[in-house]
Amino acid sequence: MKISELLVEQQATDEGLGRNIAGAALAGAMALGGAGAKASNAPQDYQNDPINAIVQQKETEKLNAIDRAKLQDILKLMQADKDAEVAQQPKSQPMSPAAQADPTKNLNPGAARPDFTVPGAVKPNVKLPARPITKPAAPTAYKPITGKPAETALHNFAVKVGLKGNELAAFMGQSAHESDGFKTAEEYASGEAYEGRKDLGNIYKGDGKKYKGRGFIQITGRANYTAAGKALGLDLVNHPELAEKPVNAAKVTWWYWKNRVRPNIGNFDNTKAVTKKIQGGSGGLKSREKYTQSFKLAQK
């Protein structure tokens, strides 16, 4: 018998019990006769009412007898249903070491691999449209204005040390003029004109020629060679020709710009002021302005 059938039977039994109790109450009332009718008009003592006592006794006896049996049957059926449900579930088998190492690995060759796909997610075998691969734009190669490798080397060095904008244009423009369009890192003149120039540190005979202009801005004088050599770790005092090599020429030029020019210039658009800190006057101003403007346009 199913649980639902037992519950239906229990309901029918309860209804029958109610009818029997009602009949017994009616019979008791008839036996009392007029006394019962008279008593109905008076306040009723519920606890001393014989009909109520009969009803309560019958309810208790009947329910105790029926409820215990029915509840035991219901519990047995519920346990049987639970046992049957457990028996239908597949029995788990102990996992092998290989399965423990890789739980997704199917140990049964004849069965399909378990699907670990999240509900609603796209399965691996679904081909999605390929995304276009956007490569970062390659940096534009520097195109030298003069076409000389020395210009490219100095420009790259200047950018590396942080020069940009108008200052970079002024730095390159002045260097281009001083080096004759990056054709040389050594002054064309002999340097005789610097002989005995104590303001340049030339205190010994021959210092003028020995320490003539070198580098792209072409530093001159014993004092500049001594200071630059000490700062750059180069023996420029005994070997001033080291300043002519492209790598050293870029370093010497940057050293002079950082220490002699930059601290004294507030506006690098003022080519005349920049020229004065390099040349001491305004010699070659037109050429310097032209080069500086060309390097400004090259940055756009």
> What's the average model confidence in pLDDT over 133-146?
78
According to DSSP, residue 96 is labeled: P
Q: Three-state DSSP class for 62?
A: helix
Least confident of 135-139, 151-155, 270-274: 135-139
Q: Is residue 91 part of a domain?
A: no
Q: Do residues 219 and 259 make contact, with C-beta atoms less than 8 angstroms apart?
A: no
Which residue out of 178, 186, 187, 244 is catalytically annotated? 178
Sign of the CA dihedral running 166, 168, 171, 176: negative
Q: Which domain holds residue 68?
A: 3-82
Q: What is the CATH number of the domain that holds 229?
A: 1.10.530.10
Q: Which amino acid, 209?
A: K
Q: Is residue 124 part of a domain?
A: no
Q: Is residue 103 part of a domain?
A: no
> What's the average model confidence in pLDDT over 15-39?
43
Could you give the percent of the chain with pLDDT greater than 90? 51
Q: Is residue 123 part of a domain?
A: no
Residues 156 and 270 both lie in one domain: yes
Cα–Cα distance measured from residue 276 to residue 263, given in angstroms and rounded to the nearest whole number: 13
The pLDDT, as a whole number, for residue 31 is 43
Domain edge (last residue) among 39, 55, 82: 82
Q: Do residues 116 and 147 make contact, with C-beta atoms less than 8 angstroms apart?
A: no
Q: At 31, which helix (H) or strand (E)?
A: helix 3-32
The pLDDT, as a whole number, for residue 64 is 66
Highest mean pLDDT among 26-30, 40-44, 125-129, 247-251: 247-251
Neighbouring-strand partners of residue 219: 214
Residues 202 and 74 both lie in one domain: no
Tokens, residue 173: 């423009």
Residues 160 and 284 both lie in one domain: yes
User: Would you call 178 a catalytic residue per the annotation?
Assistant: yes
Cα–Cα distance measured from residue 152 to residue 169, given in angstroms and rounded to the nearest whole number: 13
The pLDDT, as a whole number, for residue 181 is 97
Q: Does the pLDDT at position 48 exceed 70? A: no
Q: Does the pLDDT at position 202 exceed 60? A: yes
Residues 195 and 78 both lie in one domain: no
Q: Residue ranges of the alpha helices (H) in 33-164?
A: 34-40, 50-88, 97-101, 149-160
Helix axis angle, 165-178 to 271-279, nearest 10°: 50
pLDDT: which is higher, 277 or 61: 277
Q: Do residues 171 and 159 make contact, with C-beta atoms less than 8 angstroms apart?
A: no
> What's the average model confidence in pLDDT over 102-130?
56
Q: Do residues 245 and 234 make contact, with C-beta atoms less than 8 angstroms apart?
A: no
What total of structural domains would you count in the chain? 2
Residues 161 and 290 both lie in one domain: yes
Please count the residues of the chain. 300
Residues 56 and 176 both lie in one domain: no
**pLDDT tier for residue 217 given thresholds of 50, 70 and 90:** very high
- pTM score, two decimals? 0.56
Each residue of 226-280: pLDDT tens digit? 999 999 999 999 999 999 999 999 999 999 999 999 999 999 999 999 999 999 9
Q: Does the pLDDT at position 163 exceed 90? A: yes
Residues 274 and 153 both lie in one domain: yes
Q: Is residue 105 part of a domain?
A: no
Tokens, residue 260: 């002699």
> What's the average model confidence in pLDDT over 11-18?
50
Q: Do residues 211 and 187 make contact, with C-beta atoms less than 8 angstroms apart?
A: no
**pLDDT tier for residue 44 given thresholds of 50, 70 and 90:** very low
Domain edge (last residue) among 25, 57, 82: 82
> What's the average model confidence in pLDDT over 35-41?
41
Residues 186 and 267 both lie in one domain: yes
Domain edge (last residue) among 37, 60, 82: 82
